[in-house]
Structure 1
Amino acid sequence: MKKLSILSLVLAASTAFAASPADTLVIQSSSDIPTMDPGVTYDTASSSLVDNMYETLLTYKGASLTQLEPRLATGWKITNGGKTVTFDLRKGVKFHSGATMTCADAEYTFERNLVTNSAESGNWFLAESFGFSGNANDDKKVTWSAIDKAVECNNAGQLVFTLPKADPAFLAKLAYTGQAIVEKKYSASIGEWSGTEKDWKAWVAKDLTGSNLSKKPNGTGPYRWVRNDANTYLFTAFDGYWGKKPSIKNVIRQKVPELATRQQALLRGDADIIDGGGRAVDEAQIKGKPGVTWVDDLPNTSAGAIFMNQNIKASNLLGSGKLDGKGIPANFFSDVNVRRAFSYSFNYGQYITDVQKGKGVQLTMLLPTIFPGYDAKVKKYTYNKAQATAYFKRAWNGNVWKNGFTLTANYRANSVPAQTAMEILKRNVEAINPKFKINLQPKQWSEMLASSKKGEEALINLAWAPDYADPDNFITTFYASDGFYSPRSNFKDAQIDKWNNQARSTVNTAERNRLYSLIGNRAYEQAAYILMPAAVSYNFYSSRVTGSGLTKATYNPMTSLEWAGLTKK
């Protein structure tokens, strides 16, 4: 009770923005926390908390994106041509409930993820490893017997995964936040799935966002949840943690929507880490200020593009629906000449200057430059009015140039980068031919995500941040006919599908890289997307805080900031 009363005082003081003590890390963010259940964690805000309460079998080693090291596992062995993966589990690990972790907990975790799997969780790519195309509602192959056999504990207490074929990305997938180990007995006791066949069907595709486990999290990580309300979450160091004890005792995470309020709290020393406002704003208002440490030129692991939907399923964006100057047909972008013309119409250098303040890199393919498989030698489009004109004249047998077109494109409301990108494209396309018209209109982001999933957006600016550090997570997502983004673009290419399937079936790194280069060049030829320049990442935080993950040498873009590696003075 004494500990909780002290924490209550800390919580109340920090909520009022009083100076934060040295044993308390204060984080201020603009966003809500959708969930604290690892089984449905699929956003950075939730991950930032879950990663500090829960642990995965293995994780990334230091700043490396290619080297993995054990965490709740102590080692692993791959046999049977890559189809059997066996893990030795760490002994003496305690959950926050006080229970000791066993192999049964790990087995329960992965079976739970396969049972509840949905497109809104990070479990779809785990399911793919076992040959499942969804959950039991989507795929008849997903039976209780298939799930039960996919992951089991052997007589030696080892965790054994059995895959239908080798998956070169499997280990990286297990390092994802959503694969963190949960306790079977505790979860069942608070009303979660029992872990047995008797009630598994009731949990198929069940939304875990507001689950009882989300409300009362229980991991093995260095920090345990104490309590929260709508805007403030309180955590304290877990005394029973198996690893190195954290230096900072308490962590408070607050939702503070106003950027100016967050900035003032950081500059006063009341907050240690805050959400920024974008490079232009942060450089002007935060960089170089007393008490702030600024770290620049960090690796970026996202990739984005303007999608040119080849089958637009929203008549309100098509005008007349014909190529008569007053609209476009639904398959307007199915002509490669149209896509090439649009790709040559975008001014990549201007976007880097205006939006990224010179801190941007033009991509050759939709894969982060630091990922294996990225080929800087793949051709890329540049802004070229003459080339754009030439391809517009070829498009649709000359009818695009002759008749012109009118299309409507939405952009993310209140997003300066998204609006600027669309305005650059609109201005340059319309300058080529007075018969060309692009109408732009803002739209709420949640609405755009929903409509794009249905294939209803004509042009939409979307990006992808990786779930696991393997090129498959980007190449399949963007370029595969059945990839996550396929309904948004309706881009399909049989040759790319063939190369991608080959890359997904071999563990030979050199061969995979060769195949990804072929995909990159083919995607260029087909003008699959308008590739957006990738921003150079940066970070800033209170100079009172130091530790692993903050410096350029220790920063890993695949992991959330680990509070246990920080110290504060």
Structure 2
Amino acid sequence: MQKTTKKFATLSALLLVSAALAAAPADTLVIQTGADVPTMDPGVTYDTASSALVDNMYETLITYDGASLTKLVPLLATKWTPSNAGKTYTFDLRKNVKFHSGATMTCTDAEYTFERNLVTNSGASGNWFIAEPLTGTQSNAADDKSVTWAKIDKAVECNAAGQLVFTLAAVDPAFLAKLAYTGMAIVEKGYSAKLGEWDGTEKTWKDWIGKDLTGSELSKKPNGTGPYKLIRADANNHLFQSFDGYWGKKATIKNVIQQKVPEQAARQQALLRGDADIIDASGRAVDEAQIKGKPGVTWVDDLPNTTATAIFMNEKIGGKGNPLLGSGKLDGKGIPSNFFSDVNVRRGFSYAFNYQQYIKDVQNGKGIQRTVLMPDSFPGYDAKVKKYTFDAAKATQYFKTAWGGQLWKNGFVLTANYRANATASQTAMEVLKKNIESLNPKFRVNIQSKQWSEMLTDSRKGEEAMILIGWAPDYADADNFMYTFYASDGYYSPRANWKDASVDKWLKQARSTINVAERNRLYSLVGNRAYEQAPYILVPAPVAYNFFSSRVSGAPFTKAGFNPMTSLNWKDLSKK
């Protein structure tokens, strides 16, 4: 007991010292970010800020092999065997793996994890893409009556040999890649139940259907098998310590402190003084001017980028009395909730965004204007699809046509939110605001910052009028981007409320065939249709880069070891 108390006291002192921006010792990694952390429950982790922490506390059955985007290797599993023409997967699990609670991981924990994901599956989580191959639908039992306890129970089971067996409803060529996603990390059944989480039984499962786990008890008191365990957390600080009982290679860095520091300048100064080891990037132009080449900083450039970012134009803005709508009418004092349902409005906004200026100002010239919202390195990307360019004359033409001419005559006031403390997002909105307002003195775009967690929640409810948000892949397949952005039942659909019957048909066909050429053809059709309908403003994709304190090193910070599919694994780092 005394030893534990002493450790807590030492770590608390480190947290206070670091908060005061005093240089941290070699056994402590200090990370500063401008984002809040919505959750630490793997079952609902579906944003990069949360997964950055969850990935270091929890582990999945399999993971990516180094920098490879396609090769998968065992993690909590030791091997897997497909059978039944690809509809059954049997996993052997690693022995003597300890949870942070001290309990030994068993197949029961793994079975519970996936059943919990299927039961609580909702729009707040990424479990839709694992639910589809296992239950035959993206929906939970409340939204789709075909999802029964018997179906969930049969989908994932432990056999007599203690192996985990998945039985798929249909063949899914991306199934293994989906298991490598953060949200599929294994949690402890008994520990979770004692906290008040679902107990894993048929008796209580209906009480947990679609339940939002964002603020769950497990989120407050996480318990994984990963190399780091949470010691303490508050609204602005998270303190971690390497787990002595970890089954794998022990971490070199003993302590990790993540702090929320909203001010960009403060984060940059902390890095340059040596008070922080890793900070949020602020956009290439800012980072090259303020960080690159400075003493004590290592810069790694020309890394692969597998994210896609867009400005959403919500065609059905919800929320009773939503202040973003102003008057709620097209009277020059606001906008109606269906403002963006007119394709001419969307085209006008698309032509009003200065893509090359954004590449120059934010990405310092190292950006790529893609044709569709998916990585250009993925099969299915079609470089021949047309792209919008900044053209004030064409924007004016479409705005004059929109809403039968009433838009141009009356004008509008639109209020748009952007992620707080995110310079690149703010700049994109400022570029759009300036260009829109220059077209007509009656056009007004108000932009304001908003906390990330609040923006996620409100946009999921369809209550944001226009936001900039990106997508990092859950698994390395074109479907994860194309269906997410463009399908009427895709994950991002509530944020845009765009629907096109032909696009829906093509996307469903593409995910039901393993013929690569046919899938590519279908994605090209989707890309061309999306250009015509302009549901999104495609924000140029940056060429990825990294920078960090020169005191820190490790494979994830090298070109050969960097993997854009995974979070930064602290155990692979060292500090001098």
> Are the structure 2 counterparts of residues 131 and 407 from structure 1 closer, same or farther at C-alpha, using a change threshold of 3 Å?
farther
Matches within 5 A, 1:463-502: 463-502=470-509
Q: 1:263, 1:286 within 8 Å by CA — same for their partners in 2?
A: yes
> Are the structure 2 counterparts of residues 326 and 131 from structure 1 closer, same or farther at C-alpha, using a change threshold of 3 Å?
same
* Structure 2 residue 548 is matched with structure 1 residue 541: yes
Following TM superposition, by how much is the alpha carbon of 1:501 offset from its aligned partner in structure 2, in angstroms? 0.3
* Residue matched to 2:351: 344
* Structure 2 residue 556 is matched with structure 1 residue 553: no
Letter in 1 for 2:488: S
* Structure 2 residue 522 is matched with structure 1 residue 515: yes
Letter in 2 for 1:47: S
* Residue matched to 1:132: 137
Tell me the alpha carbon deviations over residues 153-178 of structure 1, each in whole angstroms, 9 at most, x when there is no partner: 12232212122212233222211111
Which residues of structure 2 form unaligned runs of 5+?
none
* Structure 2 residue 325 is matched with structure 1 residue 317: yes
Q: 1:237, 1:246 within 8 Å by CA — same for their partners in 2?
A: yes
Name whichever of 308-317 and 138-147 sits farther off: 308-317
Which residues of structure 1 form unaligned runs of 5+?
none
Following TM superposition, by how much is the alpha carbon of 1:58 offset from its aligned partner in structure 2, in angstroms? 0.8
* Structure 2 residue 193 is matched with structure 1 residue 188: yes
* Residue matched to 2:205: 200
> Are the structure 2 counterparts of residues 134 and 429 from structure 1 closer, same or farther at C-alpha, using a change threshold of 3 Å?
same
Between the aligned partners of 2:171 and 2:76, the Cα distance in structure 1 is 23
Q: 2:300, 2:559 within 8 Å by CA — same for their partners in 1?
A: yes
> Are the structure 2 counterparts of residues 337 and 200 from structure 1 closer, same or farther at C-alpha, using a change threshold of 3 Å?
closer
> Are the structure 2 counterparts of residues 188 and 404 from structure 1 closer, same or farther at C-alpha, using a change threshold of 3 Å?
closer
Letter in 2 for 1:74: T
Give the superposed CA RMSD: 3.0
Q: 2:436, 2:445 within 8 Å by CA — same for their partners in 1?
A: no
Between the aligned partners of 1:329 and 1:45, the Cα distance in structure 2 is 33
Between the aligned partners of 2:27 and 2:362, the Cα distance in structure 1 is 38
TM-score (norm 2): 0.88
Between the aligned partners of 1:188 and 1:325, the Cα distance in structure 2 is 55
* Structure 2 residue 358 is matched with structure 1 residue 357: no
Matches within 5 A, 1:165-184: 165-184=170-189
* Residue matched to 1:438: 444
Name whichever of 297-306 and 345-354 sits farther off: 297-306
Q: 2:225, 2:246 within 8 Å by CA — same for their partners in 1?
A: yes
Following TM superposition, by how much is the alpha carbon of 1:391 offset from its aligned partner in structure 2, in angstroms? 4.4
* Residue matched to 2:9: 8
Following TM superposition, by how much is the alpha carbon of 1:403 offset from its aligned partner in structure 2, in angstroms? 4.1
Between the aligned partners of 1:240 and 1:332, the Cα distance in structure 2 is 56
Residue of structure 2 aligned with 1:39, choices 18, 36, 43: 43
Following TM superposition, by how much is the alpha carbon of 1:549 offset from its aligned partner in structure 2, in angstroms? 0.8
Letter in 1 for 2:418: R
Between the aligned partners of 2:339 and 2:33, the Cα distance in structure 1 is 41
* Structure 2 residue 412 is matched with structure 1 residue 411: no
* Structure 2 residue 376 is matched with structure 1 residue 369: yes
Q: 1:361, 1:536 within 8 Å by CA — same for their partners in 2?
A: yes
Residue of structure 1 aligned with 2:107, choices 103, 109, 122: 103
* Residue matched to 2:74: 70
Q: 1:294, 1:540 within 8 Å by CA — same for their partners in 2?
A: yes
Residue of structure 2 aligned with 1:121, choices 113, 125, 128: 125
* Residue matched to 1:243: 248
> Are the structure 2 counterparts of residues 455 and 93 from structure 1 closer, same or farther at C-alpha, using a change threshold of 3 Å?
closer
Following TM superposition, by how much is the alpha carbon of 1:152 offset from its aligned partner in structure 2, in angstroms? 0.8
Name whichever of 360-369 and 409-418 sits farther off: 409-418
Between the aligned partners of 2:425 and 2:543, the Cα distance in structure 1 is 17
Q: 2:122, 2:128 within 8 Å by CA — same for their partners in 1?
A: yes
Between the aligned partners of 1:5 and 1:320, the Cα distance in structure 2 is 59
Letter in 2 for 1:317: L
Between the aligned partners of 1:218 and 1:450, the Cα distance in structure 2 is 25
Tell me the alpha carbon deviations over residues 290-329 of structure 1, each in whole angstroms, 9 at most, x when there is no partner: 211112232223222223333445697375845x878766
Between the aligned partners of 1:229 and 1:386, the Cα distance in structure 2 is 51
Between the aligned partners of 1:269 and 1:320, the Cα distance in structure 2 is 50
Q: 1:315, 1:321 within 8 Å by CA — same for their partners in 2?
A: no
* Residue matched to 2:168: 163
Between the aligned partners of 2:231 and 2:430, the Cα distance in structure 1 is 47
Letter in 2 for 1:220: T
SS in 2 for 1:266: helix
* Residue matched to 2:570: 563
Following TM superposition, by how much is the alpha carbon of 1:109 offset from its aligned partner in structure 2, in angstroms? 0.7
Among all aligned residue pairs of Structure 1 and Structure 2, give the percentage whose two residues are the same amino acid. Answer: 68
SS in 1 for 2:203: helix
Letter in 1 for 2:206: K
Name whichever of 210-219 and 152-161 sits farther off: 210-219
Between the aligned partners of 1:92 and 1:320, the Cα distance in structure 2 is 61
Between the aligned partners of 2:217 and 2:335, the Cα distance in structure 1 is 49
Q: 2:324, 2:415 within 8 Å by CA — same for their partners in 1?
A: no
* Residue matched to 1:214: 219
Matches within 5 A, 1:281-296: 281-296=286-301
Between the aligned partners of 2:337 and 2:238, the Cα distance in structure 1 is 47
Letter in 1 for 2:502: Q
Between the aligned partners of 1:334 and 1:543, the Cα distance in structure 2 is 50
* Residue matched to 1:304: 309
SS in 1 for 2:157: strand
Between the aligned partners of 1:442 and 1:49, the Cα distance in structure 2 is 28
SS in 2 for 1:379: coil
Letter in 2 for 1:175: A
Following TM superposition, by how much is the alpha carbon of 1:455 offset from its aligned partner in structure 2, in angstroms? 4.1
> Are the structure 2 counterparts of residues 79 and 542 from structure 1 closer, same or farther at C-alpha, using a change threshold of 3 Å?
same
SS in 2 for 1:74: strand
Between the aligned partners of 2:216 and 2:340, the Cα distance in structure 1 is 42
Letter in 1 for 2:510: A
Aligned residues between the structures: 566
Between the aligned partners of 2:242 and 2:324, the Cα distance in structure 1 is 54
Letter in 1 for 2:80: W
Between the aligned partners of 2:232 and 2:323, the Cα distance in structure 1 is 48
Between the aligned partners of 2:430 and 2:273, the Cα distance in structure 1 is 38
Matches within 5 A, 1:140-151: 140-151=145-156
Between the aligned partners of 2:24 and 2:449, the Cα distance in structure 1 is 39
Residue of structure 2 aligned with 1:80, choices 66, 79, 84: 84
Following TM superposition, by how much is the alpha carbon of 1:364 offset from its aligned partner in structure 2, in angstroms? 0.6
Tell me the alpha carbon deviations over residues 178-212 of structure 1, each in whole angstroms, 9 at most, x when there is no partner: 11111223333443322221222233333433433
Following TM superposition, by how much is the alpha carbon of 1:144 offset from its aligned partner in structure 2, in angstroms? 1.6
> Are the structure 2 counterparts of residues 459 and 545 from structure 1 closer, same or farther at C-alpha, using a change threshold of 3 Å?
closer
> Are the structure 2 counterparts of residues 513 and 21 from structure 1 closer, same or farther at C-alpha, using a change threshold of 3 Å?
same
Between the aligned partners of 1:499 and 1:158, the Cα distance in structure 2 is 38
Between the aligned partners of 1:208 and 1:387, the Cα distance in structure 2 is 46
Q: 2:372, 2:381 within 8 Å by CA — same for their partners in 1?
A: yes
